[in-house]
Amino acid sequence: MTDHGASGQNPVPGYYYAAGDPPGTVRQWDGSQWLGDPMPAPPEASSVVTDNSKFATVGVRIGAALIDGLLSIIIFFVAIAVFGNTNTSDSGFEINGGGVETVISIIVILAVYITMIATKGATPGKLMLGLRITMEDGVTTPPGGSKAIIRNIPGLIGIIPLIGQLVSLGFVIMSLIWVSGDSERRSAYDRLAGTRVVYANKL
């Protein structure tokens, strides 16, 4: 599907804001596709407004992240139980997981999310809250395997002690700032992978 301008209601040829382009720009629409590069909107096009109502707000994205976080904890302990050392002692049933088991568990979690994004266009939390991850056009979903992998690179880097964890935390903080204050509501993960998070009922 192709976006037909700022409001999705402009099928006739002309210059309109195209979803994914910088705010305050327009691009030529020939009636079936976008042509050329975005350019500053001329004064007479000042009425063109970026419609960001389809893009997920910071509140609903935090809700989805909390659901994903809870699921991650469950997957983590299941993976530790599978890959760690399980034994029964005088103190009862114990699961012993070392550094290798922890890394494996995190990789399993990322693999689950990458697979879901690539095939369903959303993590479990986003699916539950009616969100979808799309290509930069804000329409095409699922975004595919490469986009799914790139979106999860910060999480993979987080496996690295200290430096990796700081980088991963930085992505979280930047995402909260950008989604809450940016007119396009794009997180650090969206900017890295060239994706967007939209409400499924507005696709």
Structure confidence at residue 153 (pLDDT): 94
Structure confidence at residue 44 (pLDDT): 53
8-state DSSP, 63: H
Model confidence band, residue 51 (pLDDT cutoffs 50, 70, 90): low
Q: Is 148 exposed, middle or buried (0-12, 13-18, 19+ CB in 10 A)?
A: buried
Structure confidence at residue 86 (pLDDT): 53
What digits encode the pLDDT tens for the residues 120-141?
999 999 999 999 999 988 889 9
The string of DSSP letters for 66-110 reads HHHHHHHHHHHHHHHHHHSEEEEETTEEEEE--HHHHHHHHHHHH
Query: Token pair 């395997």 is at which residue?
Result: 145
What digits encode the pLDDT tens for the residues 55-73?
999 999 999 999 999 999 9
Q: Is the pLDDT assigned to residue 154 strictly greater than 80?
A: yes
Model confidence band, residue 98 (pLDDT cutoffs 50, 70, 90): low
Interval 90-102 mean pLDDT = 58
| Other CB atoms within 10 A of residue 179 CB | 24
